[in-house]
Structure 1
Amino acid sequence: MTRKVLLLVTVGQPATSLLKDFEEPLSTHLGVQAVAGKTALSRPDYAFNKSRSQYHCNAILRRLVTLQEPSHAMVLGITDVDLFVPDTAFVFGEADRESRSAVVSDARLRAGAGPELVRRRAQVEALHQVGHLLGLSFCEDTRCLMSLAQTPQDVDRKQLALCNPCRNELNKLQR
């Protein structure tokens, strides 16, 4: 079976080292080959909502889709801006299976954390969003990569791996 290729793209000014930090966990835990994009997107001012002082995920996802090439099964944007979707105070990230695009922000993941913890949190949330792109749903096991995180502490509880039921589901989806 050929590995799906995920294009990684920076949006704004996140630590560029994060792209490299995602490659091994994506391969090990989700069987995805990650490649850093040659194009970096500038701060997504087009997605800024003045009344919320946050950036709308869907606008960023629409921009990311334009960067996909036939050799890429999916695209993941990594940003440093605070994200939202309607009816939520904020999100760490968002995935759209139909467009095969996702975005993750480290803005709220930096709260009270040093560089190593921010890196781990970003890895967990990036893998979570890519899990959605691969067809996985939310998991009730709070230690599973696919559980819903609403605080940085929720992210900290997650393992950098799928629980057995989610791993089995991923194996079925990849057949």
Structure 2
Amino acid sequence: MSPGKYSLTFFYLLPLLLFFSCQKKERSYIETIALNDVRLPKEKPGDWRYSRGEKFQTFEDFKKLNKIKPEPGKNTIYLQPVGEFSKLQEKEIELTRQYLSRYFQLNTKILPALSNDIFPKTARRIFKEGQEQILAGYVLDSILIRQKPKDAVVFMGITEKDLFPRPEWNYVFGQASYADGVGVTSMYRFSNGQLTEANFKQSLERLIKISSHEIGHMFGLSHCLNANCVMNGTNSLTETDFHFARACSLCQQKLNSSLHYNPQKRLLNLKQFFEKQHFNSELSRTDQDLNLLK
């Protein structure tokens, strides 16, 4: 091949090389961690998904929602304990505050506890198992909405009493008014009504899952049908324990579009929490996401 012919061939190839080099695009954070998403198993009787028929919320669906989001002067998550708490329960609430601040990358504060005396008789009942239950809607409408701090983007109540949503329901782990940015979570069932050193770790893991799940709803996330995720719906503690504390890639994409956090900083913050609390499964999942970013 003559030098002239070679040069001409290269001249024709150059645009193609440039074209293909431009086509090679670096994967985004969301596309990268999607490799670690774990597919949900087929639902079975008793599962949340079995009889709900919920619609898959795409990212486009999420973007169209009129939802709350942090803004200047209104960007703090507040936790409002309601009840009489032991030292161990107070420790669990403080660790939940630490977790939520890392998970949402927002300043998170605990307010002084309110007494159970705030609940009138009309908002209480004695359940068949003998424990007193509090009407979740009363906590939302008559306490939290009325007392929400001006700089709060989210106001989450935490009670040691069991909750029920309406007379025909046995109980509920948590409930939220998404438009108002208020929610409540009960610690009661996470430790079978009695928090001890022996069940503390399991109870804490349940509380951080349900709390971040309810706050996720307040930020506009529907129940996740994409992968095993903290935003999956749950009917029981067995189902709660099966779900990851990790938000799947799609749910993180939705959250980050509103909260605008640094994903790698968030993962490192969560890793520190999981290491300290010896949540080894969640630590492993966080490490897997971090390893993909290297």
Cα offset, 1:125, TM superposition: 0.7
Match 2:102 to one of 8, 28, 45: 28
Structure 2, unaligned runs of 5 or more = 1-70, 261-294
2:146, 2:219 → 1: CA distance? 19
Normalised by the length of structure 1, the TM-score is 0.87
Match 2:173 to one of 60, 76, 92: 92
Structure 1, unaligned runs of 5 or more = none
Asked if 1:173 corresponds to 2:246, the answer is no
In the alignment, which residue of structure 2 is the partner of 1:58?
137
Q: CA RMSD in A?
A: 2.4
1:163, 1:88 → 2: CA distance? 30
Cα offset, 1:49, TM superposition: 3.2
Please tell me the residue identity of whatever aligns with 1:155.
Answer: T
Q: Which of 1 and 2 has greater Rg?
A: 2
Counting only pairs closer than 5 Å after superposition, residues 4-153 of structure 1 correspond to structure 2 as 4-14=75-85, 15-37=89-111, 39-43=112-116, 45-46=119-120, 47-49=123-125, 53-62=132-141, 63-86=143-166, 87-111=168-192, 114-140=199-225, 143-153=228-238
Normalised by the length of structure 2, the TM-score is 0.54
Please tell me the residue identity of whatever aligns with 1:101.
Answer: V
The percentage of aligned residue pairs carrying the same residue is: 24
Alignment: residue pair count: 174
Residue 94 of structure 1 aligns to a residue whose secondary structure is: strand
1:142, 1:164 → 2: CA distance? 9
Cα offset, 1:154, TM superposition: 1.3
Per-residue CA deviations over 1:121-148 (Å, capped at 9, x if unaligned) read 1111111111111111111257311111
8 Å contact kept, 2:226–2:250: no
Cα offset, 1:28, TM superposition: 2.5
1:80, 1:23 → 2: CA distance? 16
Q: Which has the higher helix share?
A: 2
Q: Which has the higher contact order (CA 8 A, sep 6+)?
A: 2
8 Å contact kept, 2:219–2:255: yes
Cα offset, 1:19, TM superposition: 2.5
Please tell me the residue identity of whatever aligns with 1:18.
Answer: E
1:97, 1:150 → 2: CA distance? 20
Deviates more, 1:61-70 or 1:97-106: 61-70
8 Å contact kept, 1:12–1:79: yes
Cα offset, 1:51, TM superposition: 7.1
Deviates more, 1:25-34 or 1:44-53: 44-53
Please tell me the residue identity of whatever aligns with 1:122.
Answer: L
1:66, 1:120 → 2: CA distance? 30
Q: Which has the higher strand share?
A: 1
8 Å contact kept, 2:155–2:182: yes
